[in-house]
Amino acid sequence: MYKLVTVGLAAGLTVGFFAHAKAEVTLKSAEVMATTCFGCHGSEGKSANKNGYSIAGKPAKVLEMDLRAYKEDKKKGTIMNRIVKGYSDEEITAIAQYISTLK
């Protein structure tokens, strides 16, 4: 009985630890992935050029829709189709969410 309780407790702690660690990794990697975008879309997603594409602060849903459309070639761009194909759907969601939080 004592053994069972210890094992159960250890398993609970382990799951809790990994769930926490995973959440941090996801957030961090979204930030890292988004830095790739800033090379073209301006630092922090704000384009200095008025005709450029500022992406910071757009709603996550809109960004995600645009990115998925490029990925599936429903929207044709000069370069975005190629860029977005390098990311999984989960990564696109994470990038869109991160960029939407930028002001």
Q: Applying CB under 6 A, which residues contact ligand HEC?
A: 36-37, 39-41, 53, 55, 63, 66-67, 77-80, 83, 95, 99
Name the residue nearer to ligand HEC (CB basis): 6 or 43.
Answer: 43
Name the residue nearer to ligand HEC (CB basis): 4 or 79.
Answer: 79
Q: How far apart are CA 61 and CA 5, in angstroms?
A: 45
Q: Which residue is nearest to ligand HEC (CB)?
A: 77
> Shortest gap between Cβ of 13 and ligand HEC (angstroms)?
36
Q: How far apart are CA 103 and CA 82, in angstroms?
A: 27
Closest to 87 measured CA to CA, from 64, 53, 59, 57: 64
